[in-house]
Structure 1
Amino acid sequence: TEQVTVPDLSSRFLNEGMQELSRLGLDVGSIQRDYNDSVSDDYIISHEPAANARVAKGTAVKLLVSKGPRPLKVPYLIEKTANEARSSLSAMGLIMQQEEENDDEVEAGRIIRQDPAQGVSIEKGSTVIVWISSGPLLSTVPAVIGLSEKEAQTALEDKGFRVEIKDGISGKELYGKVVDQRPEEGASVRKGVTTTIWIGKKASAGD
């Protein structure tokens, strides 16, 4: 029986390898598939008999073909710190990209959301984006003492605050004007909180 030398098919494209075997008068035996981090999908990882073996024509060569890198499941990263998340991803061979975002609920320095989400299958070397809380969005309380009720309300609402209005006793020159405010002017406060202003009114006769 005529003998032929088995070619080295490792890292060759599957169809190309099969054509090469056919050209030499060798048959394709079983084709098994497995994940491999270094050999691309549909490329040959190894074969049996191995390269350079002398075999009879018509011998079946078994092929082990790559399915590409094993897909990885993205871990749950919400509320982890950036360092914790980076360690987890790095250990899996994944890359972390970090963005920042204000958040009223999640403390500064912890992850608010992630993309891809937990459980999604991705390849090794892929990037996972995480958004890190930079804490609540703060706004500076403007000075409104001496302004009219309407002016003060507009100034505070423009800065993102809610406004509660109460009566405050004052001298005649401040009737209808803001005589006090809480929080005080210049304070850094989370947007959306309620600020209180007191509007000057004459003391009632019963007081």
Structure 2
Amino acid sequence: MFTGIVEERGEIVGREDLEEAARFRIRGPLVTSDASFGDSIAVNGVCLTVVELGDADFVVDVMAETLKRSSLDALSAGAPVNLERAMAADGRFGGHIVQGHVDGVGSVVSVSPSENWTVVRVAVPADLARYVVEKGSITVDGISLTVSSIGADAEYGDWLEVSLIPTTLAETTLGTVTTGVHVNLEVDVIAKYVERLQSAGTDGGQR
């Protein structure tokens, strides 16, 4: 499990496309400082398994299903990525519950900078919009953020906004995000459990 507090902005240093899979080599001196074979590291919010360790970098295998359901397939050498190690049992819970299981891919539709923060609007897949509430938690490319506004319009459909402080802009990939970029979204898992429990009360839990 993760908390959405990005520890390091890493970089894709190599990609090998395999049959129905891809292998990425990722530079991340901090997250590899105590990593071992088989450890979990979130890469842009996707929980991946370390299959090889190098000098300040690590290798992960990404299966076709993950490439299809996340924005990782668009990454190539040189791309920056947000990195977070799995939360230690005695660690501080700085963000919110993040599983590293991407629910869908959103698209950045506007970036509005101001003197002290930047507002980013992201188009949300219709099947995820019901889990997003104003002032609730959302994970965007592995970053735990607070939803500052929600809405819908004819051009983009459902959308959410997040307001980014200078530290988030400086320390994560959202600092250089532009319109049209796809981002991984993970909604608050508690909302999905509540929905499931409510439906169990009306249909006997049969799905």
TM-score after normalising by structure 2: 0.17
Greater per-residue strand proportion: 2
TM-score after normalising by structure 1: 0.17
The higher-RCO structure (CA 8 Å, 6+ apart) is 2
